[in-house]
Amino acid sequence: MRWWDLDPVMELEDSLFPDDAWSRGMFWSELADARHPAATRHYVVAEETGGRVVGYAGLAAVAGTGDVQTIATARDQWGTGLGARLLRELLHQATAFECHEVLLEVRVDNVRAQRLYERFGFEPIGFRRGYYQPGNVDALVMRLADLTAAPADTRETPGLQGTETTHG
Ligand SMILES: CC(C)(COP(=O)(O)OP(=O)(O)OC[C@H]1O[C@@H](n2cnc3c(N)ncnc32)[C@H](O)[C@@H]1OP(=O)(O)O)[C@@H](O)C(=O)NCCC(=O)NCCS
């Protein structure tokens, strides 16, 4: 993800996270910590062949612990395996950052995302009460301890024709 991706990213962000969308400034601040020798962030976008941004994801890595900062795919891509592909890319980068574990927070009511994470071996380890504001929705905290446990990507491949993951 580069600064010039932020217009389409913000459009997706606003529509996919209506209650707690990140601001443009939050993305700028994350990207400032990416793509340099001491980088602690890795952000990617997925583009269709024509260049439309259809998904994005970001990882933070501090002191051997990775954190999935965000992951999202356009609604018309849901179920095609794109979310899995983005997550696999973040986990690959977590290994490159020499992380021994990866954590994430997910809304307790976001069952779809939780299923995706479970499929990759993430396990629930606790709750953060009122983490999502406004609305006072709790976060489920999930942890992946074995970064080599990602499922084979045979299921996600068919839906990804014409979609390319661009490295941030
Ligand atoms: C959560 C999110 C990123 C998942 O993205 P996605 O592109 O739908 O993810 P996938 O297609 O890889 O997986 C979703 C489901 O489709 C299934 N699937 C994947 N490829 C498939 C295929 N080729 N055929 C049939 N089903 C398939 C997956 O197994 C998964 O099903 P499951 O829920 O039973 O495990 C997406 O729904 C999203 O952007 N949601 C809004 C933002 C959000 O909530 N982000 C997470 C914040 S924590």
Q: Ligand 1 test: best mutation among 59, 78, 163, most atoms within 8 Å of CB?
A: 78
CB 27 within 8 A of CB 6: yes
pTM of the model: 0.90
Atom of ligand 1 nearest to the CA of 68: 48
Separation in Å, CA 109 to CA 11, 56, 97: 23, 21, 31
CA dist 112 and 158 (Å) reads 20
Mutation test residue for ligand 1: of 16, 22, 73, the one with most atoms within 8 Å of CB: 73
| Amino acid at residue number 113 | A
Please work out whether the CB of residue 114 comes within 6 Å of at least one atom of ligand 1. no
What is the third-level CATH fold of 3-101+152-166? Aminopeptidase (3.40.630)
Q: What is the DSSP string of 153-165?
A: STTTSGGGTTEEE
Domain ranges of the chain: 3-101+152-166
Instruction: Report the length, in residues, of the chain.
Output: 168
From first to last of its 168 residues, what are the pLDDT tens digits of the chain? Answer: 999 999 999 999 999 999 899 999 999 999 999 999 999 999 999 999 999 999 999 999 999 999 999 999 999 999 999 999 999 999 999 999 999 999 999 999 999 999 999 999 999 999 999 999 888 999 999 999 999 888 877 555 434 434 455 555
Question: CA 87 to CA 108: how far, in whole Å?
Answer: 19
Q: How far apart are CA 168 and CA 165, in angstroms?
A: 9
CA distance 64 to 141: 17
